[in-house]
Amino acid sequence: MRVFLRLAALAAPLLLLTLPVSAADYPDRPVKLIVPFGAGGPADVYARFLAKYLSEETKQSFVVEDRPGAGSVIGTDQVAKSKPDGYTLLVMSNTHTVNETLLPNKPFELMRDFVAVASINESDLLMVVHPSVPAKTVQEFIDLAKKEPGKLNYASSGPGTPYHMAGELFKSLAGVDIVHVPHRASGDARNSVVSGTVQMMFDAVPTMLALSKAGQVRALATSGSKRNPLTPDLPTVAETVPGYDATIWLGVMAPKGTPKEVADFLNQHINKVIQLPEVKEAWLKQGAVPMVMSASEFDAFLRKDIDKWGKLIKSANITVQ
């Protein structure tokens, strides 16, 4: 009995080290938000916004680290291999749900190696054309594309990005043959459309709206299921192409094995932050709407989105060159 008690006493500290962290103790040191995209993009901007408020909410630092590369794979893989203790989180987007099918050989699987934590927000895209394009409506653009198959181009910031998939979904549902012209960054793609090198693009509403008002591009429609509050007089693509819905959304995931109570703690505080009146007001001016979901609801949302884009990628035979 004495030997057993001695062994138990020695094992106790080791046992405590293996016990999962509880929400009561979390966070007790800085938390890293890994953004696997470039600085200045939507994920980076909203991650910093979220980090500021979470730091205030929890009285602990939330720090954003940009780790771009390989279409989000490099930074995402880093998080997948991190300790599942809630101190390294992934800020992700629908690029990730697209990549589940588009990049089958990547070193991780989203729903196998991560757990859903919380959704952040959703933003519409603006469908724009260069002023030289003789189309003032979505239907006129479709008619032009069908009249000249393969002659019209659309720009994106690279394969698998929301801008790319918005174009591919448009091609599929509208039944048109337009050519994808990938760029290294959204700014490069935008410049190609403004210069007239490429005829069309789906891009962030606030950015393209400013260019549209300046006469550098012509806005035809927004990409969501409802009209955008920033452009109430502009129709949606879906008003011409039924079923069309392509937005940019953001969320947070954690490595598989992260304690449920920690994920729930983060979900609760993220949902609180994104519903603050000042946050909603600031995001509305940027064309973004908070997405409030439980962790389980976000999990179901992710699986549905993977399925949606997977079907499109396979039916359209989309590959990464």
User: Within a 13 Å sphere around the CA of 175, how many CA atoms are in the beta-carbon half?
Assistant: 7
Q: What are phi and psi of 317, to 5 degrees?
A: 55, 50
Q: Over the stretch 60-71, which tens digit does the pLDDT of each residue have? A: 999 999 998 888
Cα dist. 80→14, 30, 219 in Å?
A: 25, 18, 39
> Model confidence at 3, in pLDDT bands (50, 70, 90)?
very low
Contact (Cβ atoms closer than 8 angstroms) between residue 75 and residue 67: yes
For residue 186, the model assigns a pLDDT of 81
Domain map (residue ranges) of the chain: 28-123+248-315, 126-239
For residue 22, the model assigns a pLDDT of 57
Token pair in block for residue 175? 């039944």
Which CATH code for domain 126-239?
A: 3.40.190.10
pLDDT of 137 above 70: yes
pLDDT of 264 above 90: yes
Cα distance between residue 82 and residue 273, in whole Å: 25
For residue 16, the model assigns a pLDDT of 40
Q: Please report which residue ranges of 128-259 form alpha helices under DSSP H.
A: 138-147, 162-174, 186-195, 205-213
- Average of per-residue pLDDT across 122-131: 96
Cα distance between residue 146 and residue 144, in whole Å: 5
For residue 192, the model assigns a pLDDT of 97
Token pair in block for residue 143? 């008619």
Residues contacting 216, CB < 8 A, separation 6+ = 131, 194
One fold for 28-123+248-315 and 126-239:
yes
- Average of per-residue pLDDT across 216-229: 95
pLDDT of 314 above 70: yes
Contact (Cβ atoms closer than 8 angstroms) between residue 219 and residue 47: no
For the range 23-26, what are the long-range contacts, defined as Cβ-Cβ under 8 Å and sequence gap of 24 or more? 23/259, 23/261, 23/262, 23/264, 23/265, 26/86, 26/261, 26/262, 26/265
Contact (Cβ atoms closer than 8 angstroms) between residue 295 and residue 263: yes
Q: What letter would DSSP give residue 236? A: B
Q: Which is higher by pLDDT, 37 or 133?
A: 133
State which H helix or E strand residue 50 sits in. Answer: helix 42-58
Contact (Cβ atoms closer than 8 angstroms) between residue 85 and residue 21: yes
Whether domain 28-123+248-315 has CATH 3.40.190.150: yes
SS3 221: strand
Whole-prediction pTM: 0.84
